[in-house]
């Protein structure tokens, strides 16, 4: 039976308080749990998300989920598609359409880049799965129907008011660290005096969720995105589940284009015209208007409070980067908090969170502001998704293969060439800290840039810390670990792989 947090009369103490159980908050809690750090996750909703919202999980997102043992379970929540865009006059005429790359690797490219591949999974399938998984983990305490309404920064900690949504009961929570994962209208961000900067009304549109037998219509042409160009029905169709639930969206630029009608009857008519097949059974489940912008917060941190996901940055739907950035934020901050709270690193390690995440957010915000931001070659976008992680190399024989990415855990990982004895001795010294050593055969070692007597030190998030092509002088490993623990910038960044040519 899940134990409750021990309550004092007016205050609860917890190492990390996470406000919001969307993708960013869920990933933060997952990562903290893996590091053995207790956290309290509060979410204002009492039921899971009921809209598909985002549907793409990128290569790196699936690698992170694979690391938690959730790859197969997550993938089962959506259809098997190729992550390209099919453009045609109508869905009924998809056989005459053309395929356009959307910045994600194809199946063939993914097989070379990663042990996994991008997936098409709606957000309302992903979030309940992750939340249910979290509820079974020790050290994670989930409270729904609760929200953070006030924040006070104290030396070395944060005090927050946690209130029942729609009620008057509230209590004070004292946490070493607070993670604001409470969305684009973040109460925590406002309480910290931080604001989003940038255009907040770049696009407006109508969005809908409906059911119709479209898989039978498109046949073997299974893509993550379908765009139709018929006048009066221009828009995008998105698979939104393993069955025939679909999303539809059409947008306009404020001040440039004529606004679209947003009433359900008009939206359903656009959908039918976009499908292009009279008499097809279409059942509209939900529709409404939306607006989107491309913004970044002034800062991603104030004191011991941090912003992740939409609280830190806001993007339009173009490119499908919002959910994925949120999950990458949560993992990046989570392992850093884990190292600091486990006594493996200085508080300064947390300074690198914004330094490393802001450039990715800025890139994706700029992409999402581009009217053609969804149409990108994978070779132009993989660097933002993989963010400099080490290359994927298969290790072992058939039936027992593991990727270099599968070897990473909550410690630092040291990959060595076959002549590994000096490295094992160095890693065994207490001053090296927790370092897991993996000895590679010569060919896999070469693929990582390592000579027979070289080594590569890797963080839990798969980013390289230091690369020694050959055996270095004594004490090199300890110095690299100390630099990381002190929050020094990365010194070595071997390429995580690239796709040559177009999709």
Q: Name the E strands within 272-379.
A: 283-292, 295-297, 301-302, 305-307, 313-314
Instruction: Among 2.60.40.10, 3.20.20.70, 3.80.10.10, 3.40.30.120, name the CATH number for the domain at 394-485.
Output: 3.40.30.120
Give pTM, 2 decimals: 0.94
- The domain made up of 11-76+121-198+294-386 has a fold known as FAD/NAD(P)-binding domain (3.50.50)
pLDDT grade for 135, boundaries at 50, 70 and 90: very high
In angstroms, rounded to a whole number, what is the distance separating the alpha carbons of residues 332 and 490? 14
pLDDT (0 to 100) of residue 491: 64
pLDDT grade for 98, boundaries at 50, 70 and 90: very high
Please answer whether residues 22 and 41 qualify as being in contact, where contact means their C-beta atoms are separated by less than 8 angstroms: no
pLDDT (0 to 100) of residue 492: 52
pLDDT (0 to 100) of residue 5: 43
Portions of the chain given CATH number 3.30.9.10: 82-116+203-292
- The domain made up of 82-116+203-292 has a fold known as D-Amino Acid Oxidase; Chain A, domain 2 (3.30.9)
Say if strands 39-43 and 11-19 run parallel, antiparallel, or are unpaired: parallel
pLDDT (0 to 100) of residue 9: 42
Q: Which residues neighbour 415 within 8 Å (Cβ) at sequence distance 6 or greater?
A: 404, 407, 438, 440, 445, 448, 450, 455, 456, 458
Q: Which two tokens stand for residue 265?
A: 């009857």
What is the average per-residue pLDDT within 226-254? 93
By CB atoms closer than 10 A (0-12, 13-18, 19+), residue 435 is buried
Portions of the chain given CATH number 3.40.30.120: 394-485
Q: State yes or no: pLDDT of 461 exceeds 90.
A: yes
Q: State yes or no: pLDDT of 3 exceeds 50.
A: no
Phi, psi of 294 (to 5 degrees): -135, 100
Q: Which residues neighbour 253 within 8 Å (Cβ) at sequence distance 6 or greater?
A: 202, 203, 204, 371
Portions of the chain given CATH number 3.50.50.60: 11-76+121-198+294-386
pLDDT grade for 11, boundaries at 50, 70 and 90: low
Instruction: Express each pLDDT in 155-211 by its tens digit.
Output: 999 999 999 998 888 999 999 999 999 999 999 999 999 999 999 989 999 999 999
Q: State yes or no: pLDDT of 61 exceeds 80.
A: yes
The alpha carbon of 226 is separated from its chain's Cα centroid by a whole number of angstroms, namely: 23
pLDDT (0 to 100) of residue 500: 37
Q: State yes or no: pLDDT of 7 exceeds 50.
A: no
Say if strands 223-228 and 82-88 run parallel, antiparallel, or are unpaired: parallel
pLDDT (0 to 100) of residue 258: 78
pLDDT grade for 1, boundaries at 50, 70 and 90: very low
Q: Which two tokens stand for residue 290?
A: 């939306």
DSSP state of 80: -
In angstroms, rounded to a whole number, what is the distance separating the alpha carbons of residues 350 and 357? 12
Q: Name the E strands within 186-293.
A: 196-197, 203-211, 223-228, 235-239, 245-252, 283-292
Please answer whether residues 145 and 170 qualify as being in contact, where contact means their C-beta atoms are separated by less than 8 angstroms: no
Please answer whether residues 41 and 18 qualify as being in contact, where contact means their C-beta atoms are separated by less than 8 angstroms: yes
In angstroms, rounded to a whole number, what is the distance separating the alpha carbons of residues 502 and 100? 9
Neighbours of 152 (CB within 10 A): 13
């Amino acid at each position: 039976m899940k134990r409750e947090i021990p309550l004092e009369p007016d205050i609860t103490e917890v190492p990390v308080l996470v406000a919001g159980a969307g993708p960013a908050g869920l990933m933060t809690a997952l990562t903290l749990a893996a590091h053995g750090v207790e956290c309290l996750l509060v979410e204002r909703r009492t039921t899971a998300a009921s809209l598909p919202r985002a549907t793409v999980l990128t290569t790196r997102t699936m690698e992170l989920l694979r690391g938690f043992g959730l790859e197969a379970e997550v993938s089962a929540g959506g259809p098997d598609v190729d992550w390209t865009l099919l453009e045609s006059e109508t869905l009924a005429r998809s056989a005459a359409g053309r395929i356009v790359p959307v910045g994600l690797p194809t199946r063939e490219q993914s097989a070379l880049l990663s042990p996994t591949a991008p997936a098409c999974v709606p957000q309302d399938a992903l979030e309940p799965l992750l939340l249910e998984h979290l509820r079974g983990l020790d050290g994670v305490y989930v409270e729904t129907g609760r929200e953070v309404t006030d924040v006070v920064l104290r030396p070395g900690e944060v005090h927050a008011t946690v209130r029942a949504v729609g009620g008057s009961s509230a209590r004070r929570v004292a946490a070493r660290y607070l993670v604001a994962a409470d969305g684009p209208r973040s109460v925590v961000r406002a309480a910290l005096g931080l604001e989003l900067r940038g255009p907040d009304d770049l696009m407006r549109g109508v969005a809908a969720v409906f059911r119709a037998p479209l898989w039978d219509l498109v046949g073997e042409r299974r893509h993550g995105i379908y765009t139709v160009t018929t006048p009066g029905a221009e828009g995008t169709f998105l698979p939104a589940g393993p069955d025939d639930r679909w999303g539809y969206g059409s947008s306009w630029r404020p001040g440039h284009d004529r606004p679209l009608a947003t009433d359900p009857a008009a939206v359903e008519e656009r959908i039918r015209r976009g499908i292009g097949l009279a008499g097809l059974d279409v059942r509209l489940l939900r529709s409404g208007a939306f607006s989107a912008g491309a913004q970044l917060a002034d800062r991603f941190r104030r004191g011991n409070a941090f912003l992740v996901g939409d609280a830190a940055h806001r993007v339009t739907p173009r490119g499908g980067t919002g959910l994925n950035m949120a999950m990458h934020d949560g993992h990046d901050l989570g392992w850093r908090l884990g190292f600091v709270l486990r006594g493996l690193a200085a508080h300064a390690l947390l300074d690198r969170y914004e330094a490393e995440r802001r450039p990715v957010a800025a890139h994706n915000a700029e992409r999402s502001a581009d009217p053609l931001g969804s149409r990108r070659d994978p070779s132009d976008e993989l660097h933002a998704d993989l963010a400099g992680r080490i290359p994927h190399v298969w290790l072992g024989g058939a039936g027992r293969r593991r990727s270099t990415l599968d070897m990473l855990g909550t410690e630092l990982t040291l990959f060595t060439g076959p002549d590994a004895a000096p490295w094992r001795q160095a890693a065994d010294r207490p001053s090296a800290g927790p370092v897991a050593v993996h000895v590679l055969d010569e060919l896999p070692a070469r693929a990582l840039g390592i000579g027979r007597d070289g080594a590569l030190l890797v963080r839990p998030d798969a980013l390289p810390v230091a690369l020694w092509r050959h055996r270095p002088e004594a004490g090199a490993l300890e110095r690299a670990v100390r630099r990381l623990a002190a929050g020094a910038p990365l010194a070595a960044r071997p390429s995580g792989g690239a796709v040559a040519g177009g999709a």
